[in-house]
Amino acid sequence: MNVIISGGGTGGHIYPAIAIANELKVIDPAIKILFVGAEGKMEMEKVPRAGYTIVGLPVVGIKRELTLANLAFPFKLGRSLIRARQIVHDFRPDAAVGVGGYASGPLLLAASMKGIPTLIQEQNSYAGLTNKVLARWAKRICVAYPGMDTFFPIDKIKLTGNPVRSDIQFASQQVEAGRKLFELDSNRPTLLIIGGSQGARTINESIEAGLMRFVDAGIQVIWQTGPAFIERARTAVAATGSTLIKAYDFIYEMDKAYAIADSVVSRAGALSVSELCLVGRPAILVPFPAAAEDHQTKNAMSLVEHNAALLVNDRVAREELVTAALNLLANPAQQQQLSQQIKTLAKPNAARDIANEVLKLIK
């Protein structure tokens, strides 16, 4: 069997795609999988690192503001459709999977035109534009949140949750390895800060301003800044003179980071929320306000309404985030409550369930 998986642009699209591919290979090691991404986007580096072949399309997105760059959109879309049709013709997939992002549009459209069954995986509580368009031709739509019939035909929907990397599911077994990797003291509380694969400016600036408060409180911090902020973060960390703060542009071994975190500060992207549910870590969510249709706030509220996470609004994060983090770390009872509640929302079999849906389409 041949399966194409398309999409990307952010870790929130890429890592679920890799998790689906991994499960397909577990079910049938002989299956052939080809990824299709957008040229110049992070999937072109992350997917080969996971052991899969990927080809790129020249597709780009439309910017919301008026800009000359939008003039190139129809030409690049046309080239991408032609390239996608060629990829489908050459690879001869039995099914095509779209996980959102620029590349999934042309590829799934090309597959549908060839009569190849397609499956969409929508990670967020508010459907993305590409997936809403592609839903017309999709045979199955796997979603992470209930109530998605607002966006998709109800007879096509399967509630599966979001797939996450298999190593995340076994994070609890990595405590000692995590302490060794990050060189941390087992007797001190640890805060993990993640802003998505590209980092989060508001979170970074909030943490930067409060670094000495963490040092004074004896808190260890694992701080994923994203590539754009890392040099500034390293300068700020050096100025504290402390070894308690560890700054990284990107953390590949997230299972070990989650394993040793007593609490987590994070954006509310779909993948981050799903991982937090799976590892059961008490979290403070700072939704990205510019996300399409404010879907990160909707993602966060799906936890907050179950007393499974705390929320700090982006516009007040610079004043309130560090205080909220210190208060949570000083309150073991609240940490335990949040941990227990967030675990009840986990869907650990999401990748396997989606992989089985793909195989059903083929059969």
- Residues belonging to the binding site for UDP-N-acetyl-alpha-D-glucosamine are 10-12, 124, 165, 197, 251, 270-275, 296
**Angle of helix 201-209 versus helix 317-329 axis, rounded to 10:** 70
DSSP state of 155: G
Binding residues are 10-12, 124, 165, 197, 251, 270-275, 296
- Of the candidates 113, 109, 46, which has an alpha carbon nearest to the alpha carbon of residue 252? 46
The residue whose two tokens read 């909030």 is 206
Q: Determine the Cα–Cα distance for residues 82 and 98; give it in Å rounded to an integer.
A: 18
Q: Determine the Cα–Cα distance for residues 357 and 348; give it in Å rounded to an integer.
A: 16
Q: Classify burial at 309, counting beta carbons within 10 Å of its beta carbon; exposed 0-12, middle 13-18, buried 19 or more.
A: buried
Q: Determine the Cα–Cα distance for residues 173 and 342; give it in Å rounded to an integer.
A: 19
From residue 218, alpha-carbon distances to 211, 307, 326 in Å are: 11, 28, 10
- Cβ pair 220, 190 in contact under 8 A: yes
Q: 318-324: which pairs have CB atoms within 8 A and are 24 or more residues apart?
A: 318/202, 318/205, 318/206, 318/209, 321/203, 321/206, 321/207, 321/210, 321/265, 321/284, 321/286, 322/206, 322/207, 322/209, 322/210, 322/213, 322/214, 324/284
Q: If phi over 0 gives left and psi between -120 and 50 gives alpha, with beta otherwise, what is residue 307?
A: left
- Cβ pair 336, 281 in contact under 8 A: no
